[in-house]
Structure 1
Amino acid sequence: MRDVAKCEQSLQELNLMWRVIEASAKMNCPTEAKTILPTMAATRSGFSRLERELVSSLVEEKVRNVLAEIGTKAQYVIDIVVRNLFERTADVGFLATDRELCNFVAGITDSAEAARYRLREYRNKYTVYDEIILTDTDGNVLVQIDPATPLEHTADPLIQQTLESETYVETFRTTDLRPSKDRALIYSRRMHHPQTGAVIGVLCLCFHFEEEMAGIFYAHRDPEARANMLLLDGDNRVISSADALWIPPGTEVPVNATGQARLMMFCGREYLVRTFASEGYQGYPGPVGWQGQVMIPVEVAFSGIVSDVLSRLSPELAEGLLSHAHSFCPPLYDIMTAAKTIQRIVWNGQVMTAGQRGEMLKLKTILDQISETGNRSNELFAQSIHDLYQTVLSSSMRDAEFTTSLLVDLLDRNLYERSDDCRWWALTPELRAALAQPAIDEATTARLAEILAYINGLYTVYTRLFIYDRNGRIIASTGDDLDSVVGSSIDEATLAQVASLRNQQHYHVSAFGPSALYGGQDTYIYHAAVRALDNDDEVVGGIGIVFDSAPEFHNMLLAGLAGKEKMSAFYVNRSGRILSSTDGSRPVGSTLDIDLAMLQLANGECSSGVTSHDGQYAIVACSASNGYREFKVSDGYKEDVISVVFQCFGATNQGSQQSASSEFLLESGATSSEDLEYATFFSDNSLFAISAANVMEAVPFSSVLPTSMGNRTEQVGVLGLNHDDQHKEFVWVFDLGHLIRGTRSAVTSSSQVMIVRHGAHTIGLLVDELHAVPQFSPAQITHTPLAMQGDSMLVSQVIKANGGKLLIQAIEVERLFAYVIDGTIPLPPPAQEPDASTQAMPGERQLMAA
């Protein structure tokens, strides 16, 4: 953690310098320094504590970022696997009741080639399987589709276990059903006689597990391969590894299911580890004990791609994000606060010695050393802030990009199954025979409706399944409003598309939009041609399946977000039209306001940036879909979907009141005894000055106590001041911005309260930020053009700094106190927008308002 080490070094140097300066003050000017020594001691003590706490919190933040990033990926590994296997449980239940296969196993038909052809047609649709086997009740293999491993008999106990089970059986281990593999993942279900209902055999669907895991790892592992993605069993042994040479299958590894920030030893190396078990999907828990895990060696965990995200942000956007550092990165906020503390201590010391002569000059020399050391340390702090800021933003943007990548992956994987379903169900012999008839009687219609209802009961992601004849008339359907659906017709364009499908591998999907078959809501409807039993070239009708897009897409978005706070997610098309949303204010069908370049991403690409979203500073990320297996890749179907997430950090414009001191650097020149010292500070993005002789010190705004006693809107609270005699004095705090323009100032982390004294009266002034305590010659000070208007101005003079290139508005103390104490100066009206011809010099608007 090089940036943390640099920050630690700067803190140590600052701490040491404080000790040296404090010792010098005690030795060289103990009397003059007595008022500042307690502050110096408190500051030194505070920095000693800050050095320990800040470095610790920085390390914790770094570790937290890494654990969050690898944790997201670990959770997605197991979630993707479980969602995929859930589909397999439905497949085996449906295929085990296939009438043609049941007839063959029961001996009603005897063509093994016909059964093998049907199984291969199924495999052609559902390419996630590498073997399908039918056995009788004794384990004799009746037919299989993989010619590389011919089988005659199996002694695997899963056959008997399946025969005794009323549901599917999930098996993952070594088996003689797949002799070429160390382990196989098999879903089996018993088959029944189509006439008597007797148990007659077993169907085994063999999932292509290795290919599937390789695809997951390829799509979601970090591109630099610094971490390893793993799938573990219940004994914490590796089932599958993204890098088998690094961590091979069968290896037992340490796990971190609780997410604790601790190092874990494995094979002589220390790792950061995150482990997640599945929470299940639609009632399916997944294989017992399976877990997703990501492990990253600690020596590379905090290095990676160097991001230049900050250089791509506008200064206003960067400053605005920094104003919310306390919420999105507490350690960053601590560093910023520490830098402000240094500036305030130096500023206070310079104010204390303003106008002093003789021995007090020794103290002034010491304060100059403090100032020089503070400036040098501030540069180191600024770099530390920049580095950590970069790290936090880059980490958040990578996490958002990965989330969008997962979201489109979930969508494509799910819709892949829908394309498989419609094509396979179109091969149902009873549908093909019925639609080929010249006329369909009521008994046949009832039987078709019964078949559809059975399928729909197994596949709950559909709200409706329907079949239609060659003229497009719907003759059977599931779902609601059957009276209005059955007998109606599909549109001519869809019918023409279905009729033109070349073979059983092709399908048609309606464009995402409202449909009467889905209650007028937006969805996809998948169609496949139903062909005559004796002639594959003759289309006799079609089948349509209505995807339940509203809950299914919404659940995908929620699963992808995985409970991330302040993050919203969307599916949109290339035009930005919303297909699904977790933001209730942006419903389906509306258009998402997003950078057009993000809508033009190439397939499989992702992008992220920082933007303003709903009045909030936010990270925006998106990914363009890239298909899954052959779906949207080589099957002729093209329908790009883009996933978008926004992660908000806080309200915009909060940083607009903060002015960077570096933009108002004062050029130093020769000084004389006649020079006047001023305390300078920022208010409303302009530089102001007040006589240093009237300023006691500055304190953070957090020290102000709110009160309801004041009856003036410019009063923001009271402040307690401690005196040497332990007496505590309470003074009113006034909002200088309100006094100048008539509206309240926004309080930020940089806000300070200046203690100003005039005669017997003392007040506090809320300002945006401290600047410096410079000296100016009388020649640099001039009256404002409007000063002759009398006592209606708080600013009566302007200081021409940097050769006249920088104007500093000088507040007249007498007039300030006349107003806040006696109310004799009327409050000026809010400033009016100047026209273009009057916008000449910095701060003129504030000057005119004053």
Structure 2
Amino acid sequence: MQIREPASLQEPLPIDVFLPFMRDVTLCEQSLKELNLMWRLIESSAKMNCPQEAKTILPTMAATRSGFSKLEKELVKSLVEEKVRTVMAGIGTKAKYVIDIVVRNLYERTADVGFLATDRELCHFVAQPTEDGNIARARLREYRDKYTVYDEIILLDTAGNVLVQIDPATPLEHSSDPLVAETLASDNYVETFRHTDLRPAKERALVYSRRMHHPDTGAVIGVLCLCFGFEQEMQGIFESHGDDDLRSNMLLLSGDGRVIASADPLWIPPGARVPVNLHTESRLMRFCGREYLVSTYASAGYQGYPGPPGWMGQAMIPVDVAFRTALADLLSGLDPAVAQGLLSHAETFCPPLYDIMQAAKTIQRIVWNGQVMTAGQQGDMQKLKTVLEQISETGGRSNELFAQSIHDLYQTVLASSMRDAEFTSHLMVDLLDRNLYERADDCRWWALTPELRQGLAQDTPSPETLARFGEILLYINGLYTVYTRLFVYDRHGRILAITGPDACGDGSAALGRQVEPDTLARVLALGTSQDYCVTPFAPTALYDGRSTYVYHAAIRALSSNTAVGGIGIVFDAEPEFRNMLRAGLAGKANSQALYVTRQGRILSSTDERHPEGGTLTIDPALLALPSGQSASRITIHDGQYAVVACTASSGYREFKTSDGYKEDVVAVVYQFFGEQRYQGALVRGAVPAIDQGDTAPDAQEFATFICNDGLYALAAEHVLEAVPFSDVRLTPLGGGGRIGILGVQRTDMQQRFMWVFDLVQLLGKRATPPTPGSQVMVVRQGAYTLGLLVDELHAVPKFDASQIAHTPLVLQGQSMFTSGMVKANGGELLIQVVDAQRLFDWLIDGKAPAPGEDAVHAALQA
């Protein structure tokens, strides 16, 4: 649901502070107060007007009134906390992604500057700056044309004199910036973010600098500066991952809480100092006279690179708009059985929702019990009828309130989960495209290495040349660890130099191996140094028989620009893809993620049950999403209820957008809520109310209830009460449908025990595990009493004899315990009647196939 669950509240959440901004919860609170008052009035009325008749239900009513008073506060508190938690999780996800994406991008820059500073052509030029600077400038522009994240590249001598630059808009001659001296004194890269005379037109610039050495003597001769296009990059991040409804703002902050970059600079401008919330506390923070919920994340680093000192990602949302989310009606389009099955796990994924459901069950059971207790009673018991009518009416209002609260909170939780899963899948394809963009850049740039171009132009490169090839590749591979192998091959496709193990995955020698003919043809046909090609994601011996992408670029002769061979780089897909998926999930429990093709073939997965190379079973519409689009569903996956979200890749900068390469990948995220549970033909909410209409004075009262495949009725005179299934003591002494023992308090104040039977099993149906909402009806026939486990209580209606059709036992599909069918609501609703006499006769006669018959008889007579 979230990238990280918010930290537990260090202090109690100030409910009264947030409540004014939640109109729906405020209305719920008012309704709860009114209903609480009604329950108090009903209890007082029963005590005054019919104390003797009501004595059987007064204890239950007292407990209900007390529970309702507590619920009034706890329910509102839970609703507020859940809404605040949802908002905090949403902005926390955005804040974390801002800093994570930035740090991953800048990590690549630290590798770039280290590699380019050792480029022999550039080092030769800096060592002898009297040479033509146009050659060096052309080489730097070739680099920038491939690594388009840079808007300026500068070479300086040790005195700060500018030798060559590529941006003609701001011509430079000299720099007095201290970063020059700092870089010259360092044996590592230097990262600078502030105003600098190297980029005079910018208020601040992000520069990566590295000292350069003489190619022959090793003496320090100058400085290379790579100027990162920071503003453009941040704009792309904000546009890609920003808030569609413009309720929140995403920020990049410095260590002192000042805004470095803002998704909406007119709202919160760069340079402003904002409050930060690194501990994810659910409290309001003030900025410019407005109160906000704030989430802040510091960088966790990437591959040992910590990111610029103190940088943080942050998202802020004003509290006055934080809870104004217009939710789509998700439940109306969801299969009722799936909706009900998922809801049965509410205790796990949303405790406040579970509390509301349990409260609704309690109120419903009180009303139902009151009606069955007085079924068929006449005379003085009629005094209780008025009280029961009030209970029924108030109970109905309570049920409506709870049903609406359940519906709204359920939709809030699902919508939050779906939004978060979509955002996570979007991040995952963004990480993938950004990473593979760098791979396409690398192979094209390394193909321009002069020594490779000169060596391959020879018909038969010398052993010294081949040894030099190997040294170059080893040096590159040491800096760029995302590759398993780098290799160079001639125009005939024979590999002349390669890094990695001597043998390939099929046992053949790596050196001297032939590049596939179709790949070689594609490489030699590449038109310019900007072109590259990628092999499909498939098993290759160069990756030990595993699947990966291999990036290729043509190596051209220096003199004629004719393709004389190529360079291939084997991407280490298995760990790199898995790390991207895990980074997106960020340790989120009960979740898994995958990269798949448009055909559902798995490229990578965080779940061992769905390994690379397999096929994912998923809605085809999700795999067919337009590039850059996201969507989510409620589904059943691997036997569990889940939210599934997908995003189709759309490329990064020119990669996959305008460079001619097309290889769509879909990121898939699953968030699981619990195992699939069998749901019968009737689920709560799908059962219509019974239209009583006008019934005859001698109409019979029935207790109706739901079992997993339909609506059933039992003569109300046999039903004493209903209790929650949680009161049952389960026992291993099974058989014949017995599942446990129930203790009840008799009027003589003695505790009595009875067997509890699963009615579903007695009816010959497929038994299913009880849910937290399951109920046990206490049923009596003569001197015998037992408990019957059912799914839901329904109502206590009256039916005329004309509505009841008696059926013979031999009728196909009928249980031996059902004696008829009630045609309710004008015949549109059919209710099966369970015959208590037949049920008890069968159990008492000892026909239940189970041990301990004497114990059964004794328990039934309790």
Q: Distance in 2 between matches of 1:823 and 1:463?
A: 73
Amino acid at match of 2:291: E
| Corresponding residue number in structure 2 for 1:314 | 335
Q: Distance in 2 between matches of 1:127 and 1:471?
A: 32
Q: Distance in 1 between matches of 2:833 and 2:815?
A: 15
User: Identity over the aligned pairs, expressed in percent?
Assistant: 66
| Corresponding residue number in structure 2 for 1:421 | 442
The answer to whether the 8 A contact 1:3-1:384 is kept is: no
| Corresponding residue number in structure 2 for 1:798 | 821
Q: Does 1:485 align with 2:506?
A: no
| Corresponding residue number in structure 1 for 2:644 | 620
Q: Distance in 2 between matches of 1:763 and 1:318?
A: 32
Pick aligned residue for 2:593 from 551, 569, 576: 569
Q: Distance in 2 between matches of 1:104 and 1:745?
A: 79
Q: Distance in 2 between matches of 1:634 and 1:826?
A: 74
Amino acid at match of 2:514: S
**Mean alpha-carbon deviation: is it higher for 54-63 or for 657-666?**
657-666
Q: Does 1:256 align with 2:277?
A: yes
| Corresponding residue number in structure 2 for 1:738 | 761
The Cα of 1:225 is off from its aligned counterpart by 1.3
Amino acid at match of 1:786: L
| Corresponding residue number in structure 1 for 2:563 | 539
Q: Distance in 1 between matches of 2:449 and 2:481?
A: 19
| Corresponding residue number in structure 2 for 1:772 | 795
The Cα of 1:108 is off from its aligned counterpart by 7.3
The Cα of 1:25 is off from its aligned counterpart by 1.4
Query: Using a 3 Å threshold, how does the CA distance of structure 1 residues 685 and 355 change in structure 2: closer, same or farther?
Result: same
The Cα of 1:563 is off from its aligned counterpart by 1.3
Pick aligned residue for 1:372 from 374, 388, 393: 393
SS in 1 for 2:690: coil
Q: Distance in 1 between matches of 2:542 and 2:848?
A: 73
Amino acid at match of 1:717: G
Q: Distance in 1 between matches of 2:373 and 2:691?
A: 22
The Cα of 1:479 is off from its aligned counterpart by 0.8
Q: Distance in 2 between matches of 1:670 and 1:545?
A: 83
Matches within 5 A, 1:549-564: 549-564=573-588
| Corresponding residue number in structure 2 for 1:669 | 693
Amino acid at match of 2:728: V
Amino acid at match of 1:610: I
SS in 1 for 2:687: helix
SS in 2 for 1:409: helix
Structure 2: unaligned runs, 5 residues or longer = 1-21, 851-862
Amino acid at match of 2:804: I
Q: Distance in 2 between matches of 1:134 and 1:93?
A: 14
Q: Does 1:761 align with 2:780?
A: no
**Mean alpha-carbon deviation: is it higher for 546-555 or for 474-483?**
474-483
The C-alpha deviation readout for 1:420-476, integer Å capped at 9, x for no partner, is: 101110111100100111211111100110000000000000001111111111111
SS in 1 for 2:830: strand
Amino acid at match of 1:341: T
| Corresponding residue number in structure 1 for 2:415 | 394
The Cα of 1:799 is off from its aligned counterpart by 3.2
Q: Aligned residues, how many? A: 824
The answer to whether the 8 A contact 2:434-2:652 is kept is: yes
The C-alpha deviation readout for 1:370-417, integer Å capped at 9, x for no partner, is: 112222332232222222222111111111111111111101100100
The answer to whether the 8 A contact 1:677-1:691 is kept is: yes
Q: Distance in 1 between matches of 2:228 and 2:811?
A: 90
The C-alpha deviation readout for 1:316-352, integer Å capped at 9, x for no partner, is: 2222222222222222222222222111110000111
Q: Distance in 2 between matches of 1:806 and 1:101?
A: 86
The C-alpha deviation readout for 1:709-735, integer Å capped at 9, x for no partner, is: x35352222222224554322222111
Amino acid at match of 2:544: G
Q: Does 1:439 align with 2:460?
A: yes
Q: Does 1:134 align with 2:159?
A: no
SS in 1 for 2:730: coil
Structure 1: unaligned runs, 5 residues or longer = 828-850
Q: Distance in 2 between matches of 1:20 and 1:133?
A: 84
Amino acid at match of 2:543: Y
Pick aligned residue for 1:508 from 528, 533, 536: 533
| Corresponding residue number in structure 2 for 1:728 | 751
Q: Distance in 1 between matches of 2:453 and 2:532?
A: 16
Q: Distance in 1 between matches of 2:158 and 2:331?
A: 67
Q: Distance in 2 between matches of 1:254 and 1:792?
A: 68
Q: Distance in 2 between matches of 1:653 and 1:245?
A: 51
Q: Does 1:717 align with 2:745?
A: no
Pick aligned residue for 1:598 from 617, 622, 630: 622
| Corresponding residue number in structure 1 for 2:604 | 580
Query: Using a 3 Å threshold, how does the CA distance of structure 1 residues 333 and 53 change in structure 2: closer, same or farther?
Result: same
The Cα of 1:787 is off from its aligned counterpart by 7.2
The Cα of 1:286 is off from its aligned counterpart by 0.9
Query: Using a 3 Å threshold, how does the CA distance of structure 1 residues 807 and 658 change in structure 2: closer, same or farther?
Result: closer
Per the normalisation by structure 2, the TM-score is 0.93
Q: Distance in 1 between matches of 2:409 and 2:352?
A: 9
Q: Distance in 1 between matches of 2:128 and 2:224?
A: 15
The C-alpha deviation readout for 1:578-618, integer Å capped at 9, x for no partner, is: 11111211111111111111121111111111111111111
Amino acid at match of 2:601: R
The answer to whether the 8 A contact 1:6-1:384 is kept is: no
| Corresponding residue number in structure 2 for 1:118 | 139
Per the normalisation by structure 1, the TM-score is 0.94
The answer to whether the 8 A contact 2:703-2:796 is kept is: yes
Pick aligned residue for 1:38 from 46, 49, 59: 59
Q: Distance in 2 between matches of 1:788 and 1:774?
A: 26
The answer to whether the 8 A contact 2:736-2:762 is kept is: no
The answer to whether the 8 A contact 1:661-1:771 is kept is: no
Amino acid at match of 2:289: G
The C-alpha deviation readout for 1:496-551, integer Å capped at 9, x for no partner, is: 11111111111111111111111111111111111111222x11111111111111
Query: Using a 3 Å threshold, how does the CA distance of structure 1 residues 793 and 639 change in structure 2: closer, same or farther?
Result: closer
The answer to whether the 8 A contact 1:130-1:206 is kept is: yes
Amino acid at match of 1:496: A
The C-alpha deviation readout for 1:121-147, integer Å capped at 9, x for no partner, is: 111111111111111112121111112
Q: Does 1:348 align with 2:369?
A: yes
| Corresponding residue number in structure 1 for 2:209 | 188
Amino acid at match of 2:718: N
The C-alpha deviation readout for 1:600-646, integer Å capped at 9, x for no partner, is: 11111111111111111111111111111111111111111111111
Amino acid at match of 2:609: S
| Corresponding residue number in structure 1 for 2:299 | 278
The C-alpha deviation readout for 1:252-280, integer Å capped at 9, x for no partner, is: 11111111221212111111111111111
The Cα of 1:10 is off from its aligned counterpart by 2.9
The Cα of 1:788 is off from its aligned counterpart by 11
Q: Distance in 2 between matches of 1:776 and 1:305?
A: 44
Q: Distance in 1 between matches of 2:249 and 2:765?
A: 60
Q: Does 1:659 align with 2:658?
A: no
SS in 2 for 1:498: helix
SS in 1 for 2:354: helix
The Cα of 1:768 is off from its aligned counterpart by 1.1
Query: Using a 3 Å threshold, how does the CA distance of structure 1 residues 599 and 744 change in structure 2: closer, same or farther?
Result: closer
| Corresponding residue number in structure 2 for 1:291 | 312
Query: Using a 3 Å threshold, how does the CA distance of structure 1 residues 788 and 596 change in structure 2: closer, same or farther?
Result: closer
Q: Does 1:781 align with 2:804?
A: yes
The C-alpha deviation readout for 1:83-125, integer Å capped at 9, x for no partner, is: 0000000000000000011111111762211111111111111
The answer to whether the 8 A contact 1:320-1:655 is kept is: yes
Q: Distance in 1 between matches of 2:174 and 2:685?
A: 83
Q: Does 1:750 align with 2:803?
A: no
**Mean alpha-carbon deviation: is it higher for 579-588 or for 95-104?**
579-588
Pick aligned residue for 1:696 from 716, 720, 723: 720
The Cα of 1:826 is off from its aligned counterpart by 6.9
The Cα of 1:311 is off from its aligned counterpart by 2.3
Amino acid at match of 2:434: R
The answer to whether the 8 A contact 1:794-1:812 is kept is: yes
SS in 2 for 1:707: strand
